[in-house]
Amino acid sequence: MSSQDTSSTGRKKKNVIITGASRGLGKATASLFAANGYNLYLTSRNEVALYKAMEELMLIYPDITVKAKPYDLSIKENAIAFGNWVLRLGISIDILFNNAGSFIPGSVHDEPDGTLENMVNTNLYSAYHLTRTVLPKMMQQKSGHIFNMCSVASIKSYSNGGAYSISKTALLGFSRNLREEMKPHGIKVTAVIAGAAYTDSWASSGIEKSRFMEADDVAKMIFAASQLSADACVEEILMRPQLGDI
């Protein structure tokens, strides 16, 4: 066992798998877990941004393992391939954060044809197929924690939400069903129902940064939920900016 597999206290380090990890909420969450001694296994579809994020994390946190491999998880075969890549590493799967997602604004009555398929493939099927690939390993462990990045759009309809809101509502349904299924197997499932947190995608919106939550706010709640005893599970994390939805 290498020094990167154990902490300074001699305890075996835990492993976190994060999708959509090259920026925004995924990168913020990766940084927080890394700061607390977790090994990281990351993916995103932007190869350049992913490897840049990996290099930054390795430089800041040299005592952990950081591995990354780019995949477009909106493609079923890629989601399965990433899951199998993780499995071949032979690591315990302690935390899986299904964060990969995208947003296309529009309304059901006039959004371009194919928008729903795009949103469902990216925001729902990526999590569904990756989770199904690694679940047998987690069930064998009888432990682990799955976080799914939902949205306030999962619980509240709004103008210009369209297919995005539909896909995030479905992701929340997936999370709730998975939570019930995994109870007997010792695996926790948490839906992260988050409002607007400031990331690069909001930079050109013209909205004051102070109107948003910080990406670190969401990361801190995910980390806190992951630290509870085996007998407690935070089923849903609901967060909004102080002044409400944007």
Q: How far is CA 173 from CA 26, 150, 154, 207, 226, in A?
A: 21, 10, 9, 31, 21
Q: For residue 181, give both structure tokens.
A: 């299924």
Residue 102 sits at the vertex; the CA angle it makes with 14 and 171, to the nearest 5 degrees, is: 65
Looking at 61, 125, 128, 164, which residue is catalytic?
A: 164
What is the rounded CA–CA span in Å between residue 155 and residue 106? Answer: 18
Catalytic: 164? yes
Q: Are 146 and 186 in contact (CB under 8 A)?
A: no
How far is residue 227's CA from residue 235's CA, in Å, rounded to a whole number?
Answer: 14
| Beta-strand pair 39-43/236-239 | unpaired
Q: Of 134, 104, 170, 120, whose CA–CA distance to 43 is shortest?
A: 134
Residues catalogued as catalytic: 164
